[in-house]
Structure 1
Amino acid sequence: MSAAPLRSHARPAAAPTTAPQRAIHLHAVTAPRHARSIAPFAWLCIGIVLAALSSVLALNTTMAEGAYTSRDLKIEIAQLHQQRATALIQLEANAAPEALAGRAAELGMQPAGRIGFVTLESGKVLEAGGR
């Protein structure tokens, strides 16, 4: 007799199930999107625009102020030129021989009869011609 090892091909008993299981359908989902607000970007754009407008306004105001200052200085220069011209005309009029003689007469001066020179070494008055 051939002795074959006894193998037990017995199946284990299946666990009793009470209800049939439903098949679960799995599918891939995308990651939730983070809601990004455009408010910071909008505030940045508004800030840049306001800064640009403010700088243009400040520059324009400074240029206008410079133009008014320049105009005022040109007017003052023109007035000073006119005053200088008037002073030169008055100086030339007062330096004329007739004006000098009239002014001297007002002060009580009289024309000299003889012209003399004073020597610095001796302090003597020499008459014209060296006498």
Structure 2
Amino acid sequence: MSQHATARPQVRPSSRRATAPTPRSLRVVAPAPAQGNGWFLALCVALVLAGFVGVLLLNTAMAKGSFTMRDLQHRSDELSDTQDDLRHALDAVSGPGPLASEARSLGMVPAETPAFLRLSDGKVVGVAKKARKDETFSVVTESSSTARATPSTPPTATSR
């Protein structure tokens, strides 16, 4: 044979040709096996329930703290009122009038010439003389001065 051979076209089957589809056979497919057995779902439900219980406990503790704080605030207000009352009572007793009355009831009299002790060197400054009881000595207190200042008749507009 020679090297010069002629090429022959080959016949190809046409894909456009209408051929009848071959019937396929149907078969029943089993369901896919379950992945896991519910432990993940149970764990998620348990975590959600634990979160709800935690929030409930936190809310209850905060409410209890709020009630305790309110009770302590009321107690603090009562103690503050008591302190104010005691301070006013102390001021009323420790004023010059009550102190002079108490000193007079104890037999004390005012000094005519006072003497002082200088603490830096311990020296006595002044000459003290024995005090005599003076019946004319009086102390003006707030209650007696306000009682005298209250007019018995109301002031008129022309008395300005």
Aligned residues of 1:117 and 1:125 also touching (Cα < 8 A):
yes
Could you list the runs of 5+ residues in structure 2 that have no partner in the other structure?
Answer: 1-28, 130-160
Instruction: Answer yes or no: is 1:126 the counterpart of 2:127.
Output: yes
Q: Does 1:75 align with 2:74?
A: yes
Deviation at 1:36, TM superposition (A): 3.1
Cα shift at 1:123:
3.7
Q: Does 1:95 align with 2:94?
A: yes
Q: Deviations over 1:93-131 (max 9, x none)?
A: 01222211232244x232124132135454465259xxx
Out of 100, 109, 112, the residue aligned to residue 111 of structure 1 is: 109
SS at match of 2:115: strand
> Per the alignment, do residues 43 and 119 of structure 1 end up closer, same or farther by CA in structure 2, a change over 3 Å counting?
closer
Q: Which has the higher contact order (CA 8 A, sep 6+)?
A: 2
- How far apart in 2 are the matches of 1:36 and 1:112? 106
Instruction: Please show how residues 7-22 of structure 1 align to structure 2 within 5 Å.
Output: none
- Residue 84 of structure 1 and its aligned partner are, at CA, apart by 1.5
Check 1:119–1:84 CA distance in 2 against 1; reply closer, same or farther (3 A cut).
closer
Structure 1's unaligned 5+ residue stretches are 1-29
What TM-score, normalized by structure 1, do the two folds share?
0.60
Report the CA distance shift for 1:90/1:52 in structure 2 as closer, same or farther (over 3 A). same
Secondary structure of the corresponding residue to residue 48 of structure 1: helix
Query: Identical aligned pairs, as a percentage?
Result: 29
With the length of structure 2 as denominator, give the TM-score of the two structures.
0.51
Distance 1:123 1:96, change over 3 A: closer
- Which residue number corresponds to residue 86 of structure 1? 85
Which residue of structure 2 aligns with residue 46 of structure 1? 45
1:119–1:126 Cα contact (<8 Å) kept:
no
**SS of aligned partner of 2:127:** strand
Distance 1:100 1:55 in 2: 64
